[in-house]
Amino acid sequence: MKYNFKQLWNRAFLFVGPAWSLLVCMIWFSGQLVTISDKIIFLCIVIPGFLVVYSSGYFIEGWHEKKKREQS
Q: What is the pLDDT of residues 4-51, one digit of tens each?
A: 888 888 888 899 999 999 999 999 999 999 999 999 999 999 999 999
Q: Pick the more confident residue, 70 or 41.
A: 41
Whether the CA torsion 29, 35, 36, 41 is positive or negative: it is negative
Cα–Cα dist 25/22, whole Å: 5
pTM: 0.72
Confidence of residue 1 (pLDDT cuts 50, 70, 90): low
